[in-house]
Amino acid sequence: MRTWLKLLAGCSMLLLVGCSSTPNNEPLVSSNDPNDPLEQFNRPIFEFNWKVLDANILKPAAKGYQKLPEPMRDGLINAAENLDEPVNLVNNVLQFKLKDASVTTGRFLINSTVGLLGLFDVAGEIGLKQQDEDFAQTLGVWGADQGAYLMIPVRGPSTVKDFTGDVVDAAAFSFNMLKFPQTLLKLTIKTLDTRVELMGQEQLLNDAIDPYSFTKEAYLQRQEFKLHDGNVPPKSVEEEYGDIDALLEDGDEELEE
């Protein structure tokens, strides 16, 4: 999981959100994105996450976490990700990825024992790479649409499908397997680790003309990447630009005016 996270760090911005204004501080007009019908509610949350939560809590905490020795941080994130292997296993089975499910089973058994409860990714060292799957991806494989884009306080970017998947995964696995303090510790480690990964990419967001739209598009692209395991099918012209005939007609009308 960390490999694609590093590759997409520049555009994912999981918990990073920026202010919703242009460099000239002029208010932005709604983009009228059909995938974002709740934009007027999402934008204020986006700004709150960035200016209040990230600036005052998450970023300072991530800087403190970053000062830990790298082997210690690697051990913590390895242990946190090992606790997600049962979720990966079940969702691989639900997606009929039986080979990946067997790899996940092997990873969990090896890292939980030889790897000292997951502190060391021994399975990864012998070629058993993490097969990261969640229920949101399972819903996507089953044909569910993303649904409306959501900006959630603290959580950051999401969609109706992704949020539903998070709730199901948490209810079915995390809180049944672990006590609440353990679950909270796992989520905290993963959040801080992700925020550290994104430290060097903040300027991309700060330089964006519309940070809100930048974050939204980056998040949706990242989710599409995950759904297709990195093999995103090319979009048709119609999918990319909409009804070409209608666009041409609109262009002709503008020229006549």
> In whole angstroms, what separates CA 168 from the centre of its chain?
16
- Which pLDDT score, from 0 to 100, does residue 235 have? 62
| pLDDT recorded at residue 237 | 44
Nearest to 33 by CA among 153, 146, 141: 146
pLDDT at 26: 42
CA–CA gap between residue 226 and residue 219 (Å, rounded): 11
pLDDT of 106 reads: 97
Q: DSSP characters for 31-45?
A: ---TT-TTHHHHHHH
User: What is the rounded CA–CA span in Å between residue 248 and residue 257?
Assistant: 14
Average confidence (pLDDT) per 10 residues, the chain, 257 residues: 38 39 43 88 95 94 96 96 93 97 97 96 96 95 95 94 93 66 87 90 86 93 89 62 52 52
pLDDT of residue 30: 57
Contact call for residues 156 and 17 (beta carbons, < 8 A) = yes
Whether 53 contacts 154, CB under 8 Å: yes
Whole-prediction pTM: 0.77
**Looking at residue 243, what is its pLDDT?**
52
Q: What is the pLDDT of residue 51?
A: 87
pLDDT recorded at residue 10: 38
Buried b / exposed e along 184-212 (16+ C-beta atoms within 10 A): ebbeebbbbbbbbbbeeeeebbeebebbb
